[in-house]
């Protein structure tokens, strides 16, 4: 019965305008069913495609918005990073200027060191220090005024950073070397100072009038030729008599020949002897400094008037005191 229903035909009458001929379409129910199904399928497919297309459009829009957001974020990051790079460049520039300034100070210190070396002769030979000259270092760090402004490239920034780093490394090494050399110079100066303290090179009296030099002379008492083992320096009674160098008092004594007298032991077998003193103010074993008063000028012992007989002994033998006197006065003495 069903099968028969499908085979039944339906007639569709299409009536156009009033004077047109009538069109009759005879279609079986099955054909109609197939046409309806096809239409439904087409409609369904269209719907699905539309929905998918809509979904894609929405998805693209969402992605576009998201991309815009990310781009804005990246732009912000880029801006921040550019600002940081600029700050770093400025820092490197400031450091390079500081390095140039330190280099300039270092050069001044080196000149000072050279001056110190002049004060301490016989010092170690100075090694030529490396590094660039002051002018080059300063010009690298200091900029001029005006001119066309070119933005600093990444390569230039790296070069400046590398050059600044190298300059600091070189300065670090030089400062260490300089500190070491200055330490050595200080020790040499101290040694020189101490040596000078131990070496007789000053007048033992306020007066600088030599009345009888070292060597052969006519004895003031016997008027016969004799050898004078020291120098006689005229002076006022009671004038201070000074130790000519630091040392230890070897003896303080009195006898008819030398009167009140003091012997001071210095370095390297050197002794100085002060005779005819009016009084003494040191004791045996006392440590004395250079220029320290040890007694008063007098005329005790075998003496014709107030004077100091000053004698220098090297390894127990009297020697000419002239080399142990201030150089200016040695000339005067020779001229007399």
* 239-275 core/surface letters (b: 16 or more CB in 10 A; e: else): bbbbbbbbbebbebeeeeebbbbbbbebeeebbbbbb
The distance of closest approach from Cβ of residue 255 to Zn ion in the complex, given in angstroms and rounded to an integer, is: 15
Is the Cβ of residue 104 or residue 212 nearer to Zn ion in the bound state? 212
**Helix H or strand E encompassing 31:** helix 29-119
Query: Contacts with Zn ion in 308-327 (CB under 5 A)?
Result: 309
**Helix H or strand E encompassing 231:** strand 231-234
Q: Does 232 bind Zn ion (CB under 5 A)?
A: yes
What are 132's two structure tokens? 């660039």
Is the Cβ of residue 184 or residue 299 nearer to Zn ion in the bound state? 299
Is the Cβ of residue 120 or residue 275 nearer to Zn ion in the bound state? 275
The distance of closest approach from Cβ of residue 325 to Zn ion in the complex, given in angstroms and rounded to an integer, is: 15
CB-based contact 290:243 (threshold 8 Å): yes
Q: Does 276 bind Zn ion (CB under 5 A)?
A: no
The distance of closest approach from Cβ of residue 279 to Zn ion in the complex, given in angstroms and rounded to an integer, is: 19
Is the Cβ of residue 141 or residue 259 nearer to Zn ion in the bound state? 259
Task: For helices 29-119 and 154-198, give the axis angle rounded to 10 degrees.
Answer: 20
Q: Does 174 bind Zn ion (CB under 5 A)?
A: no
Q: Does 266 bind Zn ion (CB under 5 A)?
A: no
The distance of closest approach from Cβ of residue 249 to Zn ion in the complex, given in angstroms and rounded to an integer, is: 21
Is the Cβ of residue 181 or residue 309 nearer to Zn ion in the bound state? 309
Is the Cβ of residue 246 or residue 303 nearer to Zn ion in the bound state? 303
Candidates 49-57, 131-139, 150-158, 306-314; binding stretch for Zn ion (CB under 5 A): 306-314
CB-based contact 241:325 (threshold 8 Å): no
The distance of closest approach from Cβ of residue 118 to Zn ion in the complex, given in angstroms and rounded to an integer, is: 39
Give the length of the chain.
Answer: 336
Candidates 29-37, 178-186, 232-240, 292-300; binding stretch for Zn ion (CB under 5 A): 232-240
Q: What share of the chain is helix, strand, coil (3-state, %, to 5)?
A: 50, 20, 30
Is the Cβ of residue 103 or residue 309 nearer to Zn ion in the bound state? 309
- Total residues in contact with Zn ion, by rule CB under 5 A: 2
> Which residue number has the CB closest to Zn ion?
309
Long-range contact pairs involving 210-219 (C-beta distance under 8 Å, separation at least 24): 210/234, 210/333, 210/336, 211/307, 213/322, 213/333, 213/336, 214/320, 214/321, 214/322, 215/320
The distance of closest approach from Cβ of residue 212 to Zn ion in the complex, given in angstroms and rounded to an integer, is: 6
Is the Cβ of residue 107 or residue 311 nearer to Zn ion in the bound state? 311
3-state SS assignment for residue 120? coil
Q: Tell which residue, 178, 166, 184, 172, has the closest CA to residue 129.
A: 178
Euclidean distance between CA atoms 310 and 211, whole angstroms:
12
The distance of closest approach from Cβ of residue 184 to Zn ion in the complex, given in angstroms and rounded to an integer, is: 45
Instruction: Report the interface residues with Zn ion, using CB under 5 A.
Output: 232, 309
């Amino acid at each position: 019965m069903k099968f028969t229903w499908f085979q039944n035909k339906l007639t569709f009458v299409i009536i156009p305008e009033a004077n047109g001929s009538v069109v009759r379409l005879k279609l079986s129910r099955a054909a109609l069913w197939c046409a309806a199904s096809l239409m439904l399928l087409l409609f369904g497919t269209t719907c699905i495609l539309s929905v998918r297309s809509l979904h894609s459009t929405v998805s693209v829009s969402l992605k576009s918005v998201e991309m815009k957001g990310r781009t804005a974020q990246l732009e912000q990051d880029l801006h921040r990073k550019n600002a940081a790079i600029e700050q770093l460049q400025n820092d490197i520039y400031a450091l390079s200027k500081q390095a140039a300034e330190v280099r300039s100070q270092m050069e001044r210190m080196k000149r000072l060191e050279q001056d110190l070396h002049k004060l301490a002769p016989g010092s170690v030979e100075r090694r030529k220090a490396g590094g660039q000259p002051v002018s080059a270092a300063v010009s690298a760090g200091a900029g001029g005024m005006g001119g066309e402004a070119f933005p600093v490239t990444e390569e230039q920034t790296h070069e400046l950073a590398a050059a600044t780093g190298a300059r600091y490394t070189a300065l670090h090494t030089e400062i260490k070397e300089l500190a070491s050399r200055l330490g050595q110079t200080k020790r040499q100066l101290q040694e020189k100072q101490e040596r000078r303290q131990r070496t007789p090179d000053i007048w033992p009296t306020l007066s600088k009038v030599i009345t009888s030099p070292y060597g052969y002379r006519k004895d003031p008492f016997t008027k016969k030729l004799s050898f004078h083992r020291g120098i006689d320096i005229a002076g006022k009674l009671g004038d201070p008599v000074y130790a000519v160098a630091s040392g230890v008092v070897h003896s303080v004594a009195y006898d008819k020949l030398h009167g009140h007298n003091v012997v001071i032991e210095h370095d390297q077998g050197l002794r100085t002897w002060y005779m005819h003193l009016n009084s003494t103010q040191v004791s045996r074993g006392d440590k004395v400094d250079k220029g320290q008063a040890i007694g008063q000028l007098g005329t005790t012992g075998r003496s014709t008037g107030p004077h100091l007989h000053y004698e220098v002994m090297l390894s127990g033998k009297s020697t000419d005191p002239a080399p142990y006197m201030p150089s200016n006065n040695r000339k005067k003495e020779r001229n007399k």
